[in-house]
Amino acid sequence: MKFESFVANPLMQAPLAGYTDAGFRYLCCKYGCGLVVTEMVSAMSLKQKNRVAFDLLKGRMPKNSVSKVAVQLFGHDPEVFAEVVRYDEIQKFDVIDINMGCPVHKVVKNGDGSALMLDLPLASKVISQTVKHSKKPVTVKFRKGFTENNVNAPEFAKMCFESGASAVTVHGRTREQMYTGQADMETVRSVVEAAGNPVYANGDIKSKEDADRVKQYTGAFGIAIGRGAVGKPYIYADILGVPFEKNLYDDICTHYDVLLEFLPEKVVACEMKKHLAVYLKGLRGVKNVMNEIFTRNSADDQLRLVKDFLKNV
């Protein structure tokens, strides 16, 4: 089956470390996103049976959800990928996504993430071994290039497809840029022209207007939204033109409830502080309530403060 038919629609929730947790993914599914993705998980940590790595794999879907769920793995050892993709915990996912775009120094210095854009033969082995040892569709996320002097996204995309990848996601920034500047959709367009679809365009997409413009300009099959969906997972329903009711407090409660199924309350209370800062951003008086929330380590206490705050907004 072609990947375009495998997913319900061409929208992807792009993974973001610390944000695209089980609760956030659940909400993205609720609002109809075609493909949701875990936070990136170290393949080596899974091989070493690291509990925290396995915790990142936990989650659940809304009833009757049409979304597919991908696990995103990072690393650079083809044999480690060949082993871990056979784990039962990985096999429960619909898609295996390989991160070859993370720009963070501690990831790149180990030869992982966007460092693989500098070594196409090794990147190809990682992809081909993953494809060989898993019956799941394999996708790859990468960047425009490592530096402005080494923009190789079209060539890299061709390699991905030739190595067996079912789809790719291209972030229109170099590793050198990190998350600064503007995403270059001309490069994404060149990837589509050089390698064909399915390609997901990623970078600076924060609204339906952005999504429509990028898709039309690049010719990409899909749109991958990262930071633009944090705090507003309903963006997927908006882009799809599907009617929805937005209830901020209910979504926040759902986010808590899903995380509490899998993690200790103290961990959830700590993790939700950064989410609440985004959910409530821009509301009058938010600074005072967030100062109070940051002093609380109980989920119930935090939710009580949120409820009282929203009553008066």
Mean pLDDT on 237-265: 96
| Per-residue pLDDT reduced to its tens digit, 18-27 | 999 999 999 9
**Distance separating alpha carbons of residues 39 and 261, to the nearest angstrom:** 17
Q: Using CA atoms, how far apart are residues 78 and 81, in angstroms rounded to an integer?
A: 5
**What span, in angstroms and rounded, lies between the C-alpha atoms of 99 and 43?**
11
Residue 292: give its domain's CATH number.
1.10.1200
Cβ count within 10 A of residue 308:
11
Whether 176 has a pLDDT exceeding 90, the answer reads yes
What are the tens digits of pLDDT across the range 83-97? 999 999 999 999 999
The predicted structure's pLDDT at residue 313: 78
Q: Is pLDDT above 90 for 16?
A: yes
pLDDT reported for residue 14: 96
The pLDDT assigned to 89 comes to: 97
Burial of 170 (0-12, 13-18, 19+ CB in 10 A): buried
Banded model confidence at residue 251, pLDDT cuts 50, 70, 90: very high
Q: 127 and 266 share a domain?
A: no
Residue 273 and residue 169 share a domain: no
Residue 41 pairs in a beta bridge with 73
Residue 30's pLDDT is 97
The reply to whether 259 and 224 lie within a common domain is: no
User: What CATH number is given to the structural domain containing 110?
Assistant: 3.20.20.70
Are 138 and 130 spatial neighbours (Cβ–Cβ below 8 Å)? Answer: yes
- Mean pLDDT value across residues 96-124: 97
pLDDT of residue 312: 82
Express as a percent the part of the chain with pLDDT over 70: 100
Same domain, 121 and 162: yes
How many separate domains does the chain show?
Answer: 2
Print the domain residue range for 60.
3-240
Task: Assess whether 48 and 156 both reside in one domain.
Answer: yes
Q: What is the mean pLDDT of residues 175-203?
A: 96
Average pLDDT of 224-237? Answer: 97
What ranges in the chain are assigned the alpha helix state H? 3-6, 22-30, 43-47, 51-55, 78-84, 88-91, 105-108, 120-133, 153-162, 185-195, 208-218, 235-240, 248-262, 265-279, 286-293, 299-311
Whether pTM > 0.85 for this model: the answer is yes
Domain final position from 218, 240, 262: 240
Active-site residue, from 28, 29, 33, 102: 102
- Specify the pLDDT at position 27: 98
CB count, 10 Å around CB of 135?
Answer: 7
Judgement on whether residues 92 and 161 belong to the same structural domain of the protein? yes
Domain C-terminal end among 210, 240, 270: 240
pLDDT tens column, 191-200: 999 999 999 9
**Secondary structure class of 74 (helix, strand, coil):** strand
State yes or no: pLDDT of 1 exceeds 90.
no
State the chain's maximal CA–CA distance in angstroms.
58
Is 102 annotated as catalytic? yes
Mean pLDDT of the chain: 96
Whether residue 266 is found in the same domain as residue 204: no
Query: 148 and 259 share a domain?
Result: no
Beta bridge partners of 223: 11, 201
**116 and 229 together in one domain:** yes
Give the C-alpha separation, 299 to 103, whole Å. Answer: 33
Tens of pLDDT, residue by residue over 162-171, are 999 999 999 9
* Rounded CA separation 285/12 (Å): 33
Q: Are residues 106 and 28 in the same domain?
A: yes
Domain end among 240, 267, 300: 240
Same domain for 213 and 300? Answer: no
To the nearest 10°, report the CA torsion of 129, 133, 134, 140: -10
| Mean pLDDT value of segment 251-265 | 97
Burial readout 9-24 (b: 16 or more C-beta within 10 A, e: otherwise): bbbbbbbbeebbbbbb
pLDDT at residue 13, as a whole number = 98
Say what the pLDDT of residue 15 is.
95
Residue with tokens 């329903």: 237
Residues 182 and 296 in one domain: no
